[in-house]
Amino acid sequence: MPATPSGAKGAVITGWGTALPNKILTNIDLESMMDTDHVWIRDRTGISQRHVGGTTAGLSAESGRAALQMAGVDPADVDALILATTTPDRTVPASSSTVQNLLGLSSCGAFDLNAACSGWVYALVNAHGLIAMGAQTVLVIGTDTLDRITDYTDRNTGILFGNGSGAAVVQACDGPGQMLGWDLDSLGEAESALFAEVGGFLQMEGKEVFRRAVRLMVDSATNAMASAGVAADDIALAVPHQANIRIISASLDRLGIPMERASIVLDRTGNTSSASVPLALAEALDQDRVTDGDLILFVGFGAGMSAASAVVRWSPHATTNSGDTT
Ligand code: ACO
């Protein structure tokens, strides 16, 4: 993948927000729904609970609204909405249309992007592309309502997934932007490892996904760091897709990034697919784990099998093109 061109219009993240449905499904709850137990799930995946319920559009509107408020952006000033989701509320139209209406984004383009669990990182890279082409403000949301395609009697899949949403406002800035390098991948030959037919439940070869996931994450992150011209030692915060704590640990170990530098939310959220990276980013930012100049590595993988990574140098106080200091 190419490095971010030096002449491209830069962009910065100026606000973020999250949404999780109120209803929580714990591992103990699952014990009465399938042949499993809390300790096995926690030890083999790192997950203790997940949120269920809500709609993709409703959760997206909640996280998107919070992100716009933090950024101080008038909804009328959003140029584009990208909603990363693998669980739209309806087949037609795209859920982004509903979200656009709910948020009052009166003059923007809106589209869904489906790259499974890599979706939000794909969307972030695409937002930077739109800004390089002249857009000023892009709202990037990642939302999934996986409870609608999860069979809660199947212990192979029913223990893993949950619902959630995370959003970021990305705005054009003067001078260099945050994104230093990126990588997008797809391994279509492995698509049978994880899929859901239209109207059906997720089917997964768990061991195959695990094996491929580690390799994909390592390769994609390595490519993004190379295109950014940075090394693993330089990464202050890793924000990996939250599928399984053992996948994250094995991947970061191979990359040479200590686990203490990772943001982990999957113990409380499960695998929320497109929402997992922005949820983990928001928690790290809210906990002040990131300071000016820090390098953040985003790395996602998912069905497809897709992978996406990006390296960002955090600079939340950059001046946006509107002249505001954020
Ligand atoms: N509860 C209790 N016991 C279980 C369960 C369960 N839910 N599932 C399997 N077991 C048992 C098995 O029967 C087996 O028992 P045995 O040794 O007596 O035969 C033992 O536990 C080990 O089973 P495995 O299938 O080998 O379990 P594994 O260690 O591979 O873990 C898991 C399964 C957690 C699914 C793992 O393979 C995994 O995380 N894979 C990746 C999944 C993933 O990340 N998916 C999302 C991709 S992202 C996206 O796009 C949505």
pLDDT tens-digit map of 215-246:
999 999 999 999 999 999 999 999 999 999 99
Render pLDDT for 71-90 as a digit per residue (tens, 0 to 9). 999 999 999 999 999 999 99
Q: Under a CB-based contact definition with an 8 Å cutoff, are residues 239 and 221 in contact? A: no
CATH 1.10.10.350 fits 1-326, yes or no: no
Whole-number pLDDT of residue 315 = 86
pLDDT digits (tens, 9 = 90+) for 244-302: 999 999 999 999 999 999 999 999 999 999 999 999 999 999 999 999 999 999 999 99
Ligand 1 atom at minimal distance to the Cα of residue 303: 50
Q: Is 272 in the pocket of ligand 1 (CB under 6 A)?
A: no
Contact 304, 115 (CB under 8 A): yes
Q: Which helix (H) or strand (E) covers residue 128, if one does?
A: helix 119-132
Distance CA 148, CA 144 (A): 9
Predicted local confidence at residue 215, as pLDDT: 97
Place 326 in a pLDDT band, splitting at 50, 70 and 90.
very low
- In this prediction the pTM is 0.95
Q: What is the mean pLDDT of residues 99-128?
A: 97
Q: Which atom of ligand 1 is nearest to the CA of 36?
A: 1
pLDDT tens readout for residues 35-68: 999 999 999 999 999 999 999 999 999 999 999 9
117 is annotated as an active-site residue: yes
Report the distance separating Cα 229 and Cα 194, nearest Å: 33
Q: Which residues contact 320 (CB under 8 A, 6 or more apart)?
A: 12, 14, 136, 171, 172, 173, 174, 326
- Report the nearest-CA residue for atom 9 of ligand 1: 156
Catalytic residue among 108, 126, 241, 244: 241
Three-state secondary structure call for residue 307? strand
Confidence of residue 318 (pLDDT cuts 50, 70, 90): low
Mean pLDDT for all residues in the chain: 95
The predicted pLDDT at position 323 comes to 42
Residue nearest to atom 3 of ligand 1 (CA): 36
Q: Which residues, 6+ apart, have CB-to-CB distance to 316 below 8 Å?
A: 12, 13, 14, 292, 326
- Residue 84 in contact with residue 274, Cβ under 8 Å? yes
Domain ranges in the chain are 1-326
How do residues 17-26 score in pLDDT, each as one tens digit?
Answer: 999 999 999 9
pLDDT at site 3: 64
| Of 252 and 315, the one with more pLDDT | 252
Q: What angle do CA 166, 141, 248 make, to 5 degrees?
A: 50
241 flagged as catalytic: yes
Structure tokens at 158: 């029913």
